[in-house]
Amino acid sequence: LAKTTQPISMDSYEGQEVNITCSHNNIATNDYITWYQQFPSQGPRFIIQGYKTKVTNEVASLFIPADRKSSTLSLPRVSLSDTAVYYCLVVLSGGYQKVTFGTGTKLQVIP
């Protein structure tokens, strides 16, 4: 399982774009990059997943460079409700492989 490294915490003002970078130097060919969001006392929620280049959905964008050794989660115009912990995971595609979580990034949105 590829290890991920991301900042422990970040602060941002409301309305700003937030970019959280994750490094995964030993990512394997069949691995996908997946991000989850977790609010206090709740289970994590899937945000976005990608393999390469750029993926966008209604919540976020995920940028993955060609070497795939890092990825950046971009949250446009954050609000106070985006205050949460964001986890970057590298997961093997297909099957039911176990998924382990790293430390995550605690994002605090400031009014």
Partner 1 sequence: GAVVSQHPSWVICKSGTSVKIECRSLDFQATTMFWYRQFPKQSLMLMATSNEGSKATYEQGVEKDKFLINHASLTLSTLTVTSAHPEDSSFYICSANQQLGDNVLTFGAGSRLTVL
Which residue, 40 or 111, has its beta carbon nearer to partner 1? 40
* Contact call for residue 95 and partner 1 (CB under 8 A): yes
Cα separation, 98 vs 80, in Å, equals: 32
Please identify which residue in the block is written with the tokens 């997943």.
Answer: 49
Residues 26-45 that bind partner 1 (CB under 8 A): 32, 34, 36, 41-45
13 binds partner 1 (CB under 8 A): no
> How far apart are the C-alpha atoms of 100 and 60, rounded to whole Å?
22
What letter represents residue 85's amino acid?
Answer: V
Residues contributing to the site for partner 1 (CB under 8 A): 32, 34, 36, 41-46, 49, 87, 91-104
